[in-house]
Amino acid sequence: MNENTPRVVVIGAGFGGLRAARALAKAPVNVTLMDRNNYHLFQPLLYQVATAGLAPEEIAYPIRRILRNQKNLDFRMADVVGIDLDARQVITNDGNIPYDLLIVAVGGMTNYYGLESVKSTGFELKGLHDANAIRNHLLFQFEQAAHEPDASRRQAQLTFVLVGGGPTGVECAGAIAELTRIVLAKDYPTINIKDVRVVLLEASDHLLTGIPLRLSEAAAETLWSKHVEVRFGNAVIDFDGQQIFLKSGERLPCQTLIWAAGVRAAGLADKLRVEKGRQGRIKVTQTLQLPQYPQVFVIGDAAYLEDENGQPLPMVAPVAIQQANLAVANIRRLISGETLREFHYKDPGALATIGRNAAVAHLGRWNFTGFLAWVTWLVVHIFQLIGFRNRLIVLINWAWDYIFYDRGVRLIIPQEKLKIEMIEPDVPTKVAV
């Protein structure tokens, strides 16, 4: 390709960005894919890393490995700190990169709705470092409780509270309950399992918004059967690391709060002076472009677009992937002077697992629960993982855990001190464009 070949920069190698970069393989463009990490992360299985079921490298895959055969692509590991939309430059911590066309696919981050105490004292589940931190903490709580003489302190150490009854909260609660009851109960014979509490707090009156009520009730019943206390209609207002303060005035002694109650667009969206919708997401046209800057496409969690009923599209992987496909198709049309197409979301449905043999599935007209839903969940997730090696290892791990009632990654590994200056996700920077 000559120097007049258009340069497409893709920011973010998550579900949307990676799909877009791959789909551009045969387009008459040069592609620069950028991410602050050198790996693509399969976020739906993060909770399994947090609960000692899988190792981090089993759900992450090096970006350079995935794309090494793509001739028109160059990968840059860098933190994007701003975009100069008028000068058509991506501003990074490592210099500026010009573009002719841009795809912004920076995803989302945790939304604490201003609850600073929860942000500083609780845990979130967004990246591998979060999952490692939760796993270390859960196991360390058991180490401490095993020789804690004071009963009330011990119970607080062994109380694990998840906030938010969406897929992450539900799946994580089920997995923690099983980790503690099936595996850790054997590792720590001096701990009375009755001291262990797993609590799922949901502010509304049902779990897994968006799926039929029957499935949502089935999910709550299954969680109860696995010893998870599911509590509705109460919001968290504070957490000091020793107790949770609820809106009702109740205090819940506990040392572990995992916040899964909100998402918003990633920090880069805040830095752009363009119109935003709910959750700080960037408003795009039906063709996925910025209204004032048609050479810029925004897709996935970072983009705000409403469906036919005026509801914002959900922040889920299928939206990001379908939007990536359309953004690339529209870039091709833009280059060849054709009319661009509009985005229409095709909802493939929802799946959530609640531990061993239990899941709920809402796939079009098909709604089902129990073992069949669980097998469907397993097959879909194995199929979606990137890399044959990862698929095989995850499959072997799951089979081992299923047969032997075990969890292979019960290691407390203090977070490494890196010798290079690592990029802090979404920290405010001086550059604002």
Ligand X SMILES: Cc1cc2nc3c(=O)[nH]c(=O)nc-3n(C[C@H](O)[C@H](O)[C@H](O)COP(=O)(O)OP(=O)(O)OC[C@H]3O[C@@H](n4cnc5c(N)ncnc54)[C@H](O)[C@@H]3O)c2cc1C
Binding site for ligand X (CB under 6 A): 11-17, 34-37, 43-44, 46-47, 79-80, 105-107, 125-126, 167-168, 266, 268, 300-302, 315-318, 320
Our answer to whether residue 3 is catalytic in this structure is no
- Taking the least distance from each CB to ligand X, the nearer of 253 and 348 is 348
The residue of the chain with the least Cβ separation from ligand X equals: 14
Length of the chain: 433
- Taking the least distance from each CB to ligand X, the nearer of 237 and 380 is 380
User: What would the two tokens of residue 22 be?
Assistant: 């791959």
Tell me the C-alpha to C-alpha distance, in Å, between residue 200 and each of 232, 322, 324, 393.
8, 32, 34, 30
Cβ at position 59, least distance to ligand X in Å? 10
- Taking the least distance from each CB to ligand X, the nearer of 154 and 362 is 362
Amino acid at 37: N
Tell me the C-alpha to C-alpha distance, in Å, between residue 113 and each of 70, 236, 252, 288.
41, 11, 20, 27
How many CA atoms does the CB half-sphere of 287 hold within 13 Å?
18
Cβ at position 431, least distance to ligand X in Å? 11
- Taking the least distance from each CB to ligand X, the nearer of 102 and 191 is 102
Long-range contacts of 315-321 (CB under 8 A, 24+ apart): 315/108, 315/263, 315/279, 317/15, 317/43, 317/44, 318/345, 318/346, 318/347, 318/348, 319/345, 320/14, 320/15, 320/16, 320/19, 320/105, 320/107, 321/15, 321/16, 321/19
The residues pairing with 39 across neighbouring beta strands, listed in sequence order, are 62
Out of 171, 178, 221, 421, which one is annotated catalytic? 171
- What DSSP element (H or E) covers 91? strand 89-92
Cβ at position 63, least distance to ligand X in Å? 9
Cα three-residue angle 165-167-172, rounded to 5 degrees:
85
| Residues 294-327: b if buried by 16+ CB within 10 A, e if exposed | ebbbbbbbbbbbeeeeeeebbbbbbbbbbbbebb
CA–CA separation, 194 and 342 (whole Å): 55
- Taking the least distance from each CB to ligand X, the nearer of 127 and 340 is 127
Cβ at position 180, least distance to ligand X in Å? 20
Three-state DSSP state, 368: strand
Cβ at position 247, least distance to ligand X in Å? 25
- Taking the least distance from each CB to ligand X, the nearer of 12 and 355 is 12
DSSP-derived letter for residue 28 is S
Nearest Cα residue to 105 out of 94, 120, 90, 88 = 90
Cβ at position 14, least distance to ligand X in Å? 2
Cβ at position 72, least distance to ligand X in Å? 20
- What DSSP element (H or E) covers 46? helix 46-50
Strand order through the sheet with 7-11: 73-77, 30-35, 7-11, 101-104, 293-298, 289-290
Cβ at position 13, least distance to ligand X in Å? 5
- Taking the least distance from each CB to ligand X, the nearer of 8 and 268 is 268
Q: Is the dihedral of CA 75, 80, 84, 85 positive or negative?
A: positive
Residue 197 has φ and ψ, to the nearest 5°, of: -125, 135
- Taking the least distance from each CB to ligand X, the nearer of 158 and 328 is 328
- The residues carrying an active-site annotation are 171
